[in-house]
Amino acid sequence: MCGIAGFILRAGQRPDPAQLAQMNAALAHRGPDDSGIYCAGAVGLAQTRLSIIGLHDGHQPLLSADGQLALVANGEIYNYLELNAELRQLGRIPRTASDSETILNSYAQHGLQCLPQLRGMYAFALHDATAGRVILGRDRLGIKPLFYVRLPDRIAFASEIKALLPILPHQPQVAATALRQFLQHQFASGEDTLLAGIQRVLPGEALLIDADLNIKRHRYWSPLNIEPRQIGIDAAQAELNDLMTAVMREHVRSDVPFGLFLSGGVDSAILAAQLHAHSNERIKSFSVGYRGATRADELNEAARIAAHFGFNHHALELEFNQVFSRIPHSIWCADELMRDYASLPTSILAETAGASLKVVFSGEGGDEVFAGYRRYDPRFAERWLKTLLHSGSGGFRTRGQWAKQWTRQLFGAELNTVAAMERAPFIKAWRDTPTTWSDLQRRQYVDLVTALPDNLLVKTDRLLMGFGVEGRVPFLDHRLVEFGLALPDTLKIQQHHGKWLLKRWAEPQLPPGHLQQPKRGFHVPVGDWLRGEVAAEIGQRLLRNRGIREWFNLAAIPKLVAARQRGNGASRELFGLMQFAIWHRLFIEQQGLKPAVNENPIEWI
């Protein structure tokens, strides 16, 4: 796992190594083991490395034998051994033990047709000097991030937005549509980010950038090509077993030890069983809970699973202040605003795991792939009413998360002008789906191309990489995604219980009764913290924050605080304003400012 950055300039210009070094410095947390810079013609590439496979000879940028190809890559190519064996037969002999070199040699042999052959999580930039182009590629599900920006003299790219900020010719501007989407849906989705002009390379896509800075899009994979299947339970279980075995055999490839984030839920418990079956080492596992919370956590279930498999288990029981002191650093890590409260304990888990490990497995993707969320199975009346009131997405993801009274009172004029775009990513995704798909498949797809890459995986990548830890997510191997999305609805949900096939297949591998536990989610007790004097202090600070003053109606903030103090909701709204205020300071007002791991969040507003 690494950080990559670089740019291609207009013809006749030459890259400045000092600028590349500056971009690299902004990504140092992603790759503390090594760094490198490449300059050739109008192209500059930079990389910071976290060494996991090919520890001693995987320095990047990687160059082809003839010097015409140069590569910087982030992530893992899990099937590099199989691809290397095929490439050797064709005369392409690897010169390192790094899995990233497989991208270089596969492209040299097959051109863009190499992309469908890669299995893994990755983002890369490849300079093809002979063709006079730079290729930016991203994995199928968007597990690894990649951003780019078009400037007057260049197109620049990086693993994180913060690495692009030093080369912008002016202070970045907030994109109103993305801000409203974050406030209402906890993340902004699609090509556009919260910073105007900075865009995402989309999952399953490669951008081809020529010497004149023209961009051509090349899509090499899409869930839309998955066709529904008719398959029985026995055949489906057998196929799932074979698939999971193949996926895990590749995912455990590593030259360093790995661990597991163990929540006690279905997905992490299944990973525990699979890691136990596919590893000869004693696995370190990590779970988290809270002292003084009013809602139960999963520490006991996680400990039970860990004991069952003989793991070296680390249970963290956290104080409220310990959790919420992570807010500024977590916002810095994420780059992109997303109101996933689980980012805070994830930060603590990542720091704890990172003290002894470079790789941790996590269960993201299981709910999207095998239909585990309750929102995938609404009652008929609920779906009918939501469709009637908010058309365009089949009653799915229909309304914002802020109470209407607060959107009316708090949103400024510019946020109100983009109200029609609030649900645009969900509506587009729904309408893109084939007519042969069921509503359940459409709901899965909408999440796979919006909430998954632009919210859930932001947490998994950025919060872990903030501490130099690679997160591996086997449920998002594209073969499992294709299998899960294509399954008949009856093998996903039965009697309003999701992940039916996955649970039935996994049951013999787990302690008796574990799969009958109710789904709790990764709870963070925000409401228990955001009250009383804490709410009052946040309100006072918000009134003085530049970003809040530019985008919101200040007169409504004392009303919001008062409602929160009375216990009348408003925690989501107040937390969102606090996040935006801190983010605005870090990414607009004082770029380059980096919070310590633990800070008083109120002082950063």
Q: Any idea what DSSP says for residue 531?
A: S
φ, ψ of residue 496 to 5 degrees: the values are 65, 20
Cβ atoms within 10 Å, residue 590? 10
Cα dihedral 460, 462, 464, 468 sign? positive
CB 524 within 8 A of CB 534: no
Angle CA 295–301–305, to nearest 5: 160
Q: Any idea what DSSP says for residue 377?
A: S
Cβ atoms within 10 Å, residue 252? 20
Angle CA 17–21–26, to nearest 5: 150
φ, ψ of residue 75 to 5 degrees: the values are 115, -155
The reply to whether 99 sits in an annotated binding site is yes
Spatial CB neighbours of 246, under 8 Å, sequence gap ≥ 6: 479
Tell me the DSSP string of 412-458: -HHHHHTGGGTTHHHHHHHHHS-TTS-HHHHHHHHHHHTHIIIIIHH
Tell me the DSSP string of 462-529: IIHHTTT-EEE-GGG-HHHHHHHHHS-GGGT-BTTBSSHHHHHHHGGGS-TTGGGSPP------HHHH
Q: Where are the beta strands (DSSP E) in 1-95?
A: 2-9, 34-40, 43-49, 62-63, 69-77
Q: In terms of Cα–Cα distance, which of 346, 365, 121 is closest to 251?
A: 121
Burial category of 93 from C-beta neighbours within 10 Å (exposed 0-12, middle 13-18, buried 19 and up): exposed
Identity of the residue numbered 210: D
CB 376 within 8 A of CB 486: no
Spatial CB neighbours of 416, under 8 Å, sequence gap ≥ 6: none
> In sequence order, what are the beta bridge partners of 137?
124, 206
The reply to whether 288 sits in an annotated binding site is yes
Give me the sheet containing 470-472, strands edge to edge.
312-318, 284-290, 258-261, 359-361, 470-472
CB 6 within 8 A of CB 45: yes
The reply to whether 363 sits in an annotated binding site is yes
Q: Which two tokens stand for residue 118?
A: 């890669």
Helix residue ranges per DSSP H, 335-437: 343-354, 366-370, 380-389, 404-410, 413-417, 424-432
Clarify whether 114 is annotated catalytic. no
Binding residue numbers: 99, 288, 362-363
Binding residue numbers for ATP: 288, 362-363
Active site residues: 2
Binding residue numbers for L-glutamine: 99
